Structure 1
Amino acid sequence: MRALTILLFCCFSIFGFSQNNQVFEDANALYNDGKYAEAIDKYETILDSNEHSAELYFNLANANYKLNNIAPTIYYYEKALLLNPEDKEIQNNLSFAQNMTIDAIEKMPDVGFSKIINNAVKTFSTDTWAKIAVGGVLLFVIIFLTYHFSYTSSKKRLAFIVSVVSLIVAFVAVAMAFQKASLDKKNNPAIVFVQESRVKTDPNPASEEVFRLHEGTKVQVIETFEGWQKIKLPDNSMGWIASEDIKLLKFF
């Protein structure tokens, strides 16, 4: 019975994948014919089936760009970039789309030791740092055994040095992995989806307005409270914005 259930699930999955492929091709054809709104509707039906890909988000962003839909354009380029962060075409198109926004916010640069550490941490993903740590430990074990069974002092000296270095690399990689995981956890970006949003000092519509943001601006969400989100901008400005005014990027 369980095998039959799995077989049926696989059949429906294959059917759904094939159907979405056809919808994707139809949407591309509409896009090429200049029917951008209709193409968007088609692409969104694929999203509704819970299928996500960098290519799908990229095409959705392109179609919205043609219609001058600022917030959706940037939102979908950012989603595509999350799934394929090394893609130069996505990066370039996102840069062009960001020129459509009104808010010009200068990023506060990292300085000193923290800049060096953050740059080093961001070199690899958390998984890659973890693999480096495991590799360092394995190398330490192998070299330590070599040290133990070596009979000449020169080989013992070399094995000892290499084993210590590999152990240090493993400890550093573990620290980097935890730091990268911490940075990723804190990274909670969102895009402003309304034409203009009033950012408040407190999560209360009657509180004082600190500044205004416009559609397409990217913010970092750092806290949530009863329909409000506390946000931080690249220039370190902070305030509370209504939850319905922004759309989080990391949820698929």
Structure 2
Amino acid sequence: MKKLILFFMSFLLLGIRQEVCSKVEDRIFYDAVRAEASGDLENAIILYEKVAKGTHSANLHGNLANLYFKLEKFGQAIINYRQALLLDPSNREIRENLSFALEVANVPKNQRVFSNYLNSESIDFWFILMAVIFWTGSLTFSYFYFAGCNRQKFFIPVSIWLLLLSFTTWAIYTSSGSQSMLKREMIAIEPIANDQNHSKLIQLRRFAGSGSSANAHVKPGESLWVYLKNDLSVRSHRSQDGLEWFLVHTSKDRKKGWIRSDEVKKIIP
């Protein structure tokens, strides 16, 4: 009986805690909205980022992206637009804002993001469509086969059915590849203020260390993909000064090198 009472008390306290946290997040969010309306963009970003540590929404990340864009922090703007688009893929305004931010930042568009039908969010649709096509065709052809219909008339419908199954299989494979790439994708963000590199370009170094020379440069907002080890864990290294580094590459391996963890952000945290 005591255990049952303790269970219900714990459940009740958990619910109260979640409600309190939700109210606090709502208060901070509206404080951020007011700060933004008054023109205090830096403080609005700080408040929005606090909220983003506990919850995620397309509206929240969209607001953050707009503020970073106004401050010309295009890397931070682009990653927040990308995260907002993941949460609301059909939002046309966010998609157009992302496209404009990429254009202003002079960053090449990731075509996987702008493909509505073969991106990472469409894989469930293709699985369902393939199941519908498979079972509809199987049951229909089975019925007419056992009903004694002319089998020669089956050739064209069966060929079309198999072609549709092949197409949906290819779509699932492509969408699955997009999903795998998304999990590895990072966005380059602006160098920290005290960095010796005064340009807006971000260095990809030959080795994991601040003393290493640059192998290539990327722009804030550019997409990077982290290399994986044989066990599918991320290729990373912690240098003697305590900084974490990732081995990354750009699209089609045009550029590659080591980048500091504070110069990139993952699309999916």
TM-score, normalising length: structure 2: 0.72
Deviation at 1:186, TM superposition (A): 2.6
1:130 paired with 2:127, answer yes
Matched, 1:56 2:60: yes
1:173 alignment partner, SS class: helix
Distance in 1 (alpha carbons) for counterparts of 2:32 and 2:214: 42
Change in CA separation of 1:4 and 1:100 when aligned onto 2, cut-off 3 Å? same
Q: Hey, what does 2:248 align to over in structure 1?
A: 231
Given the alignment, which residue of 82, 91, 101 partners 1:78? Answer: 82
Give the Cα–Cα distance (whole angstroms) in 2 for the partners of residues 178 and 10 of structure 1. 41
Unaligned runs of 5+ in 1: 110-117
Amino acid at match of 1:247: V
> How do 1:1-252 and structure 2 match up within 5 A?
1=4, 2=7, 5-49=10-54, 51-101=55-105, 104=106, 121-122=118-119, 125-153=122-150, 161-163=156-158, 165-187=160-182, 188-194=185-191, 195-203=200-208, 208-223=213-228, 224-226=235-237, 227-234=244-251, 236-252=253-269
List runs of 5+ in structure 2 lacking aligned partners: 192-199, 229-234, 238-243
Using the alignment, how far apart are the partners of 1:17 and 1:74 within structure 2? 27
CA RMSD of aligned residues (A): 3.4
Query: Are residues 123 and 185 of structure 1, via their aligned partners in 2, closer, same or farther at CA, if it must alter by over 3 Å?
Result: closer
- Contact kept in structure 1, 2:225 and 2:249, CA below 8 Å: yes
For each residue in 1:47-105, what CA deviation from the matched residue of structure 2 results, as whole angstroms up to 9, or x when unmatched? 122x111110010112222333333222212221222233222223223333553xx56
**Which one is further off, 137-146 or 201-210?**
201-210
CA distance in 1, matches of 2:107, 2:101: 15
Distance (whole Å) between structure 2 residues aligned to residue 106 and residue 98 of structure 1: 7
SS in 1 for 2:227: strand
**Percent identity at matched positions?**
21
Once residues 110 and 96 of structure 2 are traced to their aligned partners in structure 1, the CA distance between those partners, rounded to angstroms, is 22
Aligned partners of 1:135 and 1:228: how far apart in 2? Answer: 46
Alpha-carbon shift at residue 39 of structure 1 (Å): 1.5
Counterpart Cα distance in 1 of 2:201 and 2:127: 43
Classify 1:235/1:4 alpha carbon distance in 2 versus 1 (closer, same or farther; 3 Å).
same
TM-score normalised to structure 1 length: 0.76
Q: Structure 2 CA distance, aligned partners of 1:220 and 1:18?
A: 37
Secondary structure of the residue aligned to 1:241 is strand
Q: What is the CA distance between 1:33 and its match in structure 2?
A: 1.8
Question: What displacement does 1:35 show?
Answer: 1.9
What number of residue pairs does the alignment pair up? 240
Q: Say if 2:216 and 2:257, in contact at 8 Å, map to a contact too.
A: no
Is the Cα contact below 8 Å between 1:132 and 1:170 reproduced in 2? Answer: no
Aligned to 1:114: none
Report the alpha carbon displacement of residue 24 of structure 1 after superposing the two structures with TM.
Answer: 2.0
Write the distance in 2 (CA, Å) between the matches of 1:243 and 1:13. 35
Name the CA shift for 1:120/1:213 in 2 (closer, same or farther; >3 Å). closer
